Amino acid sequence: MPPLRLLAILAALVLGITAAQAQQRQRITLVVPGPGAISYLPAELISRIGADRAEGVEVQVTYATGGATALADLLENNADFAVTGMPAAMSTQLKDPRLVALAPVNDLPLYVLLVRKGLQGEVRKVGDLRGRAIGFHSDSTATKTTSQQVLELMFRRGGLKPDSYRKVVVGRRWESESLMLKNGEADAVMSDEPHASRMVAEKIAFPLVHLGDPETARNFAGAGFLRGTLISRRDLVEKDPARAAVMVRILQRTLQWMAARPPEEIVAKLDIASADERAQLVALLRKYPRQYSADGKFSTRQLRETEIFFIDSQAGNQAAEAFRIESMVIDKWAGRKN
């Protein structure tokens, strides 16, 4: 056989095998609150930096309006994994004990209590929000989202009881959150970056409390709680532990990639058309360098702090007080540090 023909056959074979492998690549669905929430940025980066393909799978990220809806998607088989606030997962776990935590995504939580611009001067402290409409990302009787827990704790510290304000769902997307504040459907929202900075810049709202501020954080028990966490279901993990192991490796690969790169390079990987929004995100990543876990390993200290936060935010809930975070942590793939 002529050498060129042999070479062509070999090349066709190799290409055929590669194409077949690509077609057979296992698909993993990951649901996160968003899109565009800075806390869950690692999830959005996974396929953009090829962390999934490096592990031979394809991760498809879908979005939910909040932690509660993301966890509902996980529990109802619309997703294999979710990244949500650990306290939201703990709250769901009280009613449906199938959830397990596989790896941390965040290090420090960033929440901002924003008040609509029209109330500037009128609202100076949390107590001034009595009788107002307060926006949550999502609302469910089954799950208290992390932002809801943060807000309730913040309001209790400010002397506001849960029955002294009106709750309204504002969604998670920029369009919905900003619309609800602009037209006065919500007077304040527990928001997330980068929406918070953008709303301040566009004069839609002003910040009342920022958890990223170390002085503010000191006033709240467990303010360094674990927020974004890779969550799955115990039955799924037991049935296919390899899939869980791969997902943890993909997440750790992404976190390590982020830790080793400047904010500009991270933001360049995202499809953000507006130069202002890109610059804003770069500034936030630079301002809060400890937002993300650098290695994707659980920290015993942080888990303890999360438990303290959860119990404190759910004061009076006996099931929450009796709940132990370690009962839902599987750290055999992510690893553990102090």
Partner 1 sequence: MAPAPTAPLGREIFRRLLLAFALATTIGIGLATWGFLTANKRAETLHQEASRNHYQAAISSLERRWGREANNLRVRLESMRHLEDPASGRDKVLAYLIAQGGNIEFPSLRIDDARGEPLVLYEHAGRRIPEARFAADQNTAWAWDPIQGRLYLVYRQLIWLGKENGHLVMFKPMDNALLTQLAYPDTRLTLWWGDRAFASSEGNPGLDALARGAVGAGTLEVPWPSTSGDPGPRLMVESTARPLMHPLDFVLPMAVGFLSLVAALWVTLGTWGRHILDRLRALERAVEGFLARRTIDADIRRDLTAENQREHDEIAELAVSVERLMDEVSAERAAAAAQSGSRHED
Q: How far apart are CA 231 and CA 224, in angstroms?
A: 19
The dihedral formed by the CA atoms of 130, 132, 137 and 143, expressed in degrees to the nearest 10: 50
What is the footprint of partner 1 within residues 232-261 (CB under 8 A)? 236, 239-240, 243
Verify binding: residue 168, partner 1, rule CB under 8 A: yes
Radius of gyration for the alpha carbons in the chain, expressed in angstroms and rounded: 21
Q: How far is CA 137 from CA 33, 45, 127, 174, in A?
A: 9, 22, 21, 11
Q: Does 107 bind partner 1 (CB under 8 A)?
A: no
334 by DSSP, 3-state: which? coil
> Residues 26, 47, 216, 317: which binds partner 1 (CB under 8 A)?
26
Q: Which of 47, 53, 78, 207 binds partner 1 (CB under 8 A)?
A: 78
Cβ at position 169, least distance to partner 1 in Å: 4
Smallest distance from partner 1 to CB 183, Å: 5
Q: Mind giving me the DSSP string for 168-197?
A: EE--SSHHHHHHHHHTTS-SEEEE-TTHHH
Distance separating alpha carbons of residues 192 and 40, to the nearest angstrom: 10
The reply on whether position 176 binds partner 1 by CB under 8 A is: yes
Q: By CB under 8 A, is residue 119 in contact with partner 1?
A: no
The residue (of 169 and 217) whose beta carbon lies closer to partner 1 is 169
Say how far apart CA 223 and CA 200 lie, in whole Å. Answer: 23
**Rule CB under 8 A: is residue 69 a binding residue for partner 1?**
yes
Decide if residue 28 touches partner 1 (CB under 8 A). Answer: yes
List residues binding partner 1 (CB under 8 A). Answer: 26-29, 34-35, 62-66, 69, 72-73, 76-80, 138-140, 168-171, 173, 176, 179-180, 182-183, 185, 236, 239-240, 243
